[in-house]
Amino acid sequence: MPAISAFFGILIRMFYNEHTPPHFHAEYQGERASFDFGGNVIAGEFRSRTARRLVAEWALLHRAELEGDWERARTGMPLFYIEPLH
């Protein structure tokens, strides 16, 4: 599962041949959650509200890029790295 971004200790990944709805996976301090492109948790849990907020903010800023990577992943193409939060 390729990493497509990393910031503030949060690692963002996207699987190839993944099920719908479109989403990405985030890891933070041993916890994992899946988020939709609107920044909502759809599976798993981050106990840190700050980490959830940062992932949601990042997803909203990069929604178009996430959608592009989703389409690339679905067709087996390499994914683009997405700029992290600063």
- Per-residue pLDDT tens over the stretch 13-49: 998 878 889 999 999 999 999 999 999 999 999 999 9
Mean pLDDT (whole number) for 69-85:
95
How far is C-alpha 46 from the geometric centre of its chain's CA atoms?
13
Mean pLDDT (whole number) for 54-65:
98
In the numeric block, the tokens 């959608």 are attached to 67
Distance between first and last Cα of the chain: 24
pLDDT at res. 18: 80
Mean pLDDT (whole number) for 67-80:
94
Mean pLDDT (whole number) for 60-86:
95
76 secondary structure, DSSP code: T
C-alpha separations of 73 from 23, 24, 28, 66, 77 in Å: 11, 11, 23, 10, 6
Dist. CA 33–CA 44, nearest whole Å = 4
